[in-house]
Structure formats: C-alpha cells, structure tokens
Amino acid sequence: MFMKAQRIIKSFSWLLTVSIAFLMFPFFGMMTVSADESELYINLPDGVVGEEYNQNIDYIVGYDWSITFGELPLGLEIDSDSGTIQGIPTEAAEDIEFEIESFDSSDETIFVMSYTVTILSEPVVSDVLSEPEVLPEPEVAEVLPETGMLYVPIPLLVAFGLLMIIIGAVLNYKREIKRLKPKIFISFVGVLSILSSIGVTAYNHWDDSRAEYISAQTTQILHEHIEKIEIEEDEIIQLIEIDGDFYIGIINIPSQNLELPINNELSEEKLKNSPCRYTGDITGSIVIGAHNYKSQFGRIPNLKYGDKLMITDATGNEHWYTVELTEIIDGTDVESMINTSYDLTLFTCTMDSVSRITVRCTKIEEI
C-alpha cells in the first residue's frame, strides 16, 4: 500500500513544481525589462500632476533609503527613514527610471531595486452648454452590447484539467502505457488547463480593479467640477468633458455603496472603464449599461424592490429613482430593452453573456 501511494505522489511531484512556478507570475507581472534587456524594473502606480502621491516600499525593512541612480519626477522625494516616495508631482513624465538602495543599522546594503513611475497630466475638464435639453439619440445596434467578463471558460477549464490529471495519474498507477511521454503529456494538458483557469481569474480580478480605479478617479473629478459650477439661471450643462470623454453625470446606488460616472457614449472601449448611456436622457427615460465587474453593475441583480438610486446630472441636479423589478432579457431583444415606460433602466450581462440582467426603475420625488 505504501509503495502504491508513493508512486501516486511521485506522479504529482512535477505538477507541484509547475504550480509553484506559476504562483510567482504576479510578481513578475509587475516588472518590465529595460531597453538593453539587462535590468528589471518594478512599475510603481501612476501619479497625476497636482495630486498628492504616496507610495511606500513596505516589503523590505530598511533604515536608510536613498536614490542611487536616476532621479524622481519633479515634486516627489523619498523619505530616507521609511522609504516612502511622496509629494505632489509638478510635471508630466513617462517611465521615469531610478534605483533605490537601503542600508541596515550597520551600513550594510540590504536592498537594491530599480523602479519606473509615470506621472500623468492633470485632466482637462470643461462644460458643454447646449439646447435643447434632450441629448441626440445614439445609434443602436441589432444586438445589445456585451458587458460580461470571462466567466464561462473558468469552470470548463478546471473540469477538463482535473479530468486529464486524474487520467494521467491512473495510467501511471496502472502502468497501462509503458512509455512515459503519453502519460506526461496527458497530465501536462490537465495542469495547463487549470493554470489557464487561474490566469483567466487573475485577469478578471485585474480588469475589475483597473476599472474601479479609473471610475473612482473620474467620479472624483466630476464631483469637484460640479461643486464649482456657476451658470446663469436659464443655462443647462448637459455634459462634462474630461480628456476627450463626455459624461452626463454620476450614478449612486446607496444600498451597494456604489458611485460611478456615466459616459455619454457607449462603446466597447468605454464600457471597460465606466457605465455608459445606451439610449434616452435623464429628463425622460434613460437606459444605462455597464460591465458585470463587481465594482460596477455586477451586483445589480441583488437590488430589491424599493431600493433607491440617484443620478447627479452635469449641472448638479439630483434625480432619484426607486427599483420596480428585475428581469432577464435576451441579448438580441433590443426592442424590449429600449421600448419601456420606466424612467431608468440598468443592464449588464449574465455570467454566460447570452442574456442581460435588467433593472427597471421609476422616478420619485427627491428624498
């Protein structure tokens, strides 16, 4: 019995080695290679001109930190005691390279690492004043836009991978195939499938985090701009332009602690960053679509009858809505999505991206 168990464990030993190597991928994913391919650089989070930057190199304990090669972007400095890079950038810059060195209490070098950081330009924000109040209707395709993440391949890859690994282990245990290569190939395919599922899951998480960061930054800019708006009594601000993108306002879902910008134009690229207006207008009936990221519309199936939502338009007016119902609409049924008497419709993809989870709301008096 012991020998049988030993053979099974041995057949999985190389699989464990591959898995451990794969777990190191997130660390290497943070890195880039210099032009001469002789040095690795860790990419620090981007900064923005005029906004406070604070990044701590907190995974190494050091006592004396300094820049030994290159220089930090203008406005930033490194705290020699903590290794924190901080300050307010004053000038845009791309891929600034520098090297940080740290010494311990006996002046021995304990840490040397190269970094890059990019400082983005301050966002250009402007208002769009126009009449009439109703925005032009965008073109609507024959099918509803896809707003789903890559969920379907994950369970399929896991199931297939486990099956291949089990088959490979059984063949090795029973010695049905005397040659080693077929058994290794079958097991390798299984491991590759499972690693692929992990890779897809990691990508989904990264993509969600990326969209969350962009939406949060855009929402903050919109709030700050709306608070400063000064207009005449008969003027209407329909859109706010931020670096070439136009936004109609901000949607707030209090029950989910969710606040997101609403892009005026729906496209595959813009949906990756924030919810988008599909059809309609806040003054009448409006349909808004977004990806099923957890940080966007991924949780709208949890909305219940009577839950409240609010849209703040570009002028700063608040429009309140209450949830009436949730329904599933086929991805090709455009008519059912847009021809509605409800004042507000939110939609996102189901897990398989075939249908659309749709939340219908009616407008209510300000609460």
Q: What is the pLDDT of residues 140-183, one digit of tens each?
A: 667 788 767 767 777 888 888 888 878 777 776 665 555 556 66
Give residue 1's pLDDT: 45
Q: Which of 232, 233, 236, 235 is nearest to 249 (CA)?
A: 236
At 269, list the tokens.
């690229």
CB atoms within 10 A of CB 291: 25
In the chain, ranges of CATH 2.40.260.10 domains: 126-149+235-364
Per DSSP, 300 falls in state: G
| % of the chain exceeding 70 in pLDDT | 73
Cα separation values, 25 from 43, 112, 150, Å? 15, 21, 20
What top-level class would CATH report for the domain 126-149+235-364? mainly beta
Q: What span, in angstroms and rounded, lies between the C-alpha atoms of 205 and 149? A: 10
Give residue 26's pLDDT: 43
Give residue 186's pLDDT: 79
Q: What span, in angstroms and rounded, lies between the C-alpha atoms of 204 and 184? A: 30
Q: What is the mean pLDDT of residues 240-248?
A: 88
Give residue 202's pLDDT: 83
Residues 6+ positions from 122 with CB-CB distance below 8 Å? 48, 49, 50, 51
108: helix, strand or coil: coil
Give residue 63's pLDDT: 66
Q: What span, in angstroms and rounded, lies between the C-alpha atoms of 269 and 271? A: 6
- What tens digit of pLDDT does each residue of 114-143 get? 888 988 887 766 656 554 445 666 666 677
CATH number of 34-122: 2.60.40.10
Q: How many helices (H) and strands (E) does the chain have?
A: 6, 19
Give residue 203's pLDDT: 84
